[in-house]
Amino acid sequence: MELDDHAEELASDLGVDKEEVKSDLQNLVEYSVPVDEAKQSLRRKYGDGSSSGGGTPSAKNVADITPEDGSVTVTGTVLTAGERSIRYQGSDHVIVEGQIADETGRIDYTAWEDFGLEPGDTITAGNAGVREWDGEPELNVGESTALSFESDSLEVPYGIGGEAELADLEAGDRARTLEVAVLDCERRTIDGRDGETEILSGVLGDESGRLPFTNWDPVPEIEEGASVRIENAYVQEFRGVPEVNVSEFSRVTHLDREIDVGSDATTMDVGEAVRTGGIYDVELVGNAIAIRDGSGLIQRCPECYRVIQKGQCRTHGDVDGIDDLRVKAILDDGTGTVTAVLGDELTEDVYGGDLEDALEAAREAMDQEVVADEIRENVVGREYRVRGHLSVDEYGANLDAETFEESDDDPAARATAFLEEVDA
Ligand SMILES: [Zn+2]
């Protein structure tokens, strides 16, 4: 049967205008809905309950959808729609993810077919599946969903297009639009799922903060010092902090304006910071109460760069280690503790010498622990202001330090400020 005949049949069964039915039918078929399924959903749409078999899911407001709903019919405006490639049962599949909203609320969705959704479209999704994700309902729009585009748009109290600032981003966010400065960018080769691939990784900044990013399909617009607009970025957690992912489906364009990047990191209590589960850029102040083992002069595996003991790498066995300097200092501010990890340059500062000096001292003493001892003497008992990237995982709370400076707060001034606070 031709589409025209299907439309004729439907129109006479349902007693509605043939041209109207035909245009709906065409829409659905264009979006790859099989014709029988399309006819079923139009029967439902035009109110022929008799042939719908299992019954039409009830129309619901977004705010009323719960994970217990098996499927729903919902009308809403598309706020965001971002393509992403996933590997499903061994093959790559392009899905569209985002949020839709009505007057009552908004909800995440995943579209498993290409329905051609664009931000700003108002749609009715008939028989959309509901699944639970992190305790919240999410819509699954797929083969069995009858999707139609409405000509009347809804007034929704949300921004359309997914514009966001870095500080607002959370792991799980999809189809975000950002205007950011590329603060740091390096090209790396990784062992991806399809063998070796080149990626870009680094740090993005805007007025609200800074976050790390990965560009899985390197574009020339992303380079150190550039200001860019990134459309359709998604956010995943990496080492305890949100990371901006720029994929082959993202659109990156140059901005001809400078992005002001806030220079202040959030200052927090140690305990408060650790409870967040990880922050990319944070400043903590605490007393250095101890220097941990594995500080001072250390050796790294030439293959994996992990710290080795007595020339033995856990993965690569007997190796010729590379000498390096590092400090793991435990900081305590009374609310909690964190291990500040200092790289070679910051370690040189607190040691008061470079790698050559450290090697010389170790040779003289015939013990490389003298380097850690020296650092311990210089650091323990003093208060430090440290800024960097905090990760919290099974290895504890570690702060990858970018700066590590003795706190210049005058204890007497702080005591006075404290007393004033108590008096007030
Ligand atoms: Zn190794």
Q: List, for residues 104-154, the tens digit of each pLDDT value.
A: 999 999 999 889 999 999 999 999 999 988 788 999 999 889 999 999 888
How many A from CA of 397 to the centre of ligand 1? 24
How many A from CA of 319 to the centre of ligand 1? 8
Amino acid at 47: G
* Lowest pLDDT segment from 24-28, 168-172, 234-238, 307-311: 24-28
How many A from CA of 299 to the centre of ligand 1? 11
Enter the pTM of the model. 0.63
How many A from CA of 314 to the centre of ligand 1? 6
115/149 Cα distance (integer angstroms): 10
With H, G, I as helix, E, B as strand and everything else as coil, classify residue 160. Answer: coil
Give me the pLDDT at residue 36, please. Answer: 74
How many A from CA of 304 to the centre of ligand 1? 4
How many A from CA of 309 to the centre of ligand 1? 11
List the shell of residues around ion ligand 1, using CB closer than 5 Å.
Answer: 301, 303-304, 313, 315-316
Residue 392 pLDDT > 90: no
| Other Cβ atoms within 10 Å of 169 Cβ, number | 20
Residue 416 pLDDT > 80: no
How many A from CA of 308 to the centre of ligand 1? 8
List, in sequence order, every residue forming a beta bridge with 339; answer none if it has no partner. 330, 398
How many A from CA of 323 to the centre of ligand 1? 14
How many A from CA of 359 to the centre of ligand 1? 22
Q: What number of residues does the chain have?
A: 424
| Nearest residue to 142 via CA among 95, 105, 104, 99 | 95
With H, G, I as helix, E, B as strand and everything else as coil, classify residue 211. Answer: strand
417/17 Cα distance (integer angstroms): 78
